[in-house]
Structure 1
Amino acid sequence: MSRRVVVPAALVTAVAVAIGLYLFQPWKAFTDTRVDEALPTVVVDQGDKEATGTARPPARKKTAAPVDLAQGTFVTHEHDTSGTARTVRLADGGQLLRIEDLDTSDGPDVRVYLSTRDADEVESGLGDGAVQLGKLKGNLGNQNYTVPAGTDLSEFRSAVLWCKRFSVSFGAADLTPVAS
């Protein structure tokens, strides 16, 4: 073969391989990232305030436990996925999505969403009104995702691990309200 054919063919092949590696990141099929975050707690001051202006007794500190709002178990979509999802309200009024005992595949661009659709329905798309909480921190373990202030969690039906690059759901969990 002539050099005029081999050199351009080699360059085209190299560019195609580089693009393929960037898009698919095949090494992630062999890697795991473990994240083990603790569930945040808030310390509140339990001291009594004196209306008369007299000295205040020493403050008593108390750790306030988060309140579970909804929870569910992940189901598999494009990749084997297991674990649980919980929405919780912290004592300071903040809200978060907590993912526990997660076990899924690592991916090139996996994000965590809240969706107004059921877990089975998000396999075909997130639907209108989905809220992105951030990039998946790790494919194994326990992790927390802050829910934006003002978000009404009662509007959301599932937590979703969504590969943004390929528009596929790795897995999702229906969020069933917890009886109070």
Structure 2
Amino acid sequence: MERTGRKTLWAGLGIAVTIAVVAGLVWFKPWALWVDETVNESLPTTGTTAPPPAASPTDGTTPTAAPTPTGPAGPVTLAEGSFISHEHATKGTAKVVRLADGTHTLRLEGLDTSNGPDLRVWLSDSPVKPGKAGWDVFDDGRYVNLAKLKGNKGDQNYPLPADVDWSTYPSVSIWCDRFDVSFGAATLARA
């Protein structure tokens, strides 16, 4: 009887350890640190959403064309900053760019950071602080979670929502939402 009890105990312990290891692997995703995802997007010339088609008048008149936006014909950099490292070594540049149609996009150029679980691109009103003091400040105030990071290397674009005043968010962070820590951040200074 004692022998059967030991076997059951060891089998239960083995199952518990296996479950703990699998859960830890799923939660931490350690392999992500060694897998690079490179994105090489070109700068868009217009926003990602097309304006709705002009409605045809029902009174028999000829439809008029939608007004065209005024301003520079090409993309214009309004603010930019270089990334500094926080939890992981991070390099590259963040830019707020006004596109020809008047929409705005956040462009990351030459990004080079570690991969990780649940990385996000955040705009924040918290100041960028060097070293360990800056690792966890970006969720202290107001922030906008723009999107999941497309890749830990390369050039990529993130459309800014029309209802967000980007100038009230002077910082960009590559934020690990799983562990509430910044991999790296940049201060957006007016160009």
Q: Which category of TM-score, normalised to the shorter sequence, fits these structures? A: 0.7 to 0.9
Cα shift readout 1:85-143 (whole Å, capped 9, x = no counterpart): 00011111111100000000000100000001111165232132200110000000000
Gaps of 5+ in 2: 47-61, 63-71
Measure, in 1, the Cα distance between the counterparts of 2:23 and 2:162.
Answer: 38
Greater strand fraction, Structure 1 or Structure 2? 1
TM-score by length of 2: 0.79
Deviation at 1:65, TM superposition (A): 1.3
Moved over 2 A (4+): 121-125
Counterpart amino acid of residue 106 in structure 1: N
| Alignment pair present for 1:136 and 2:149 | yes
Aligned residues of 2:86 and 2:134 also touching (Cα < 8 A):
no
Q: Are the aligned partners of 2:126 and 2:142 in contact in 1 as well (CA < 8 Å)?
A: no
Distance 1:30 1:129 in 2: 32
Which residue of structure 2 lines up, in the alignment, with residue 150 of structure 1?
163
Question: C-alpha deviations, 1:54-86, integer Å up to 9, x for none?
Answer: xxxxxxxxx931111110000000000000000
Matches of 1:150 and 1:29 in 2, distance apart? 35
- Tell me which amino acid in the other structure corresponds to 1:89: R
What are the ranges of 5 or more consecutive residues in structure 1 without an aligned counterpart?
Answer: 43-52, 54-62
Q: What TM-score do you get using the length of structure 1 for normalisation?
A: 0.84
Which residue, 5, 11, 19 being the options, matches 1:15?
Answer: 19
- Whether 1:161 and 2:165 are equivalent positions in the alignment is no
Backbone CA RMSD of aligned residues: 1.8
Aligned length: 160
Contact 1:33 1:140 in 2 (8 A): yes
**SS of equivalent to 2:135:** helix
Distance in 1 separating the partners of 2:95 and 2:145? 16
- The answer to whether the aligner puts 1:105 opposite 2:114 as a matched pair is yes
Q: For residues 64 and 39 of structure 1, what CA distance do their matches in structure 2 show? A: 14
Alignment partners' CA distance in 2, 1:91 and 1:74: 26
Question: How many Å separate the matches in 1 of 2:114 and 2:147?
Answer: 17
1:96 and 2:108 are equivalent in the alignment: no
Structure 1 position 41 matched with structure 2 position 45: yes
- Contact conserved, 1:125 with 1:167, CA < 8 A, in 2? no
- Secondary structure in structure 1 of the residue aligned to 2:182: strand
1:125 is matched with 137
Cα distance in 2 for partners of 1:3, 1:65 equals 73
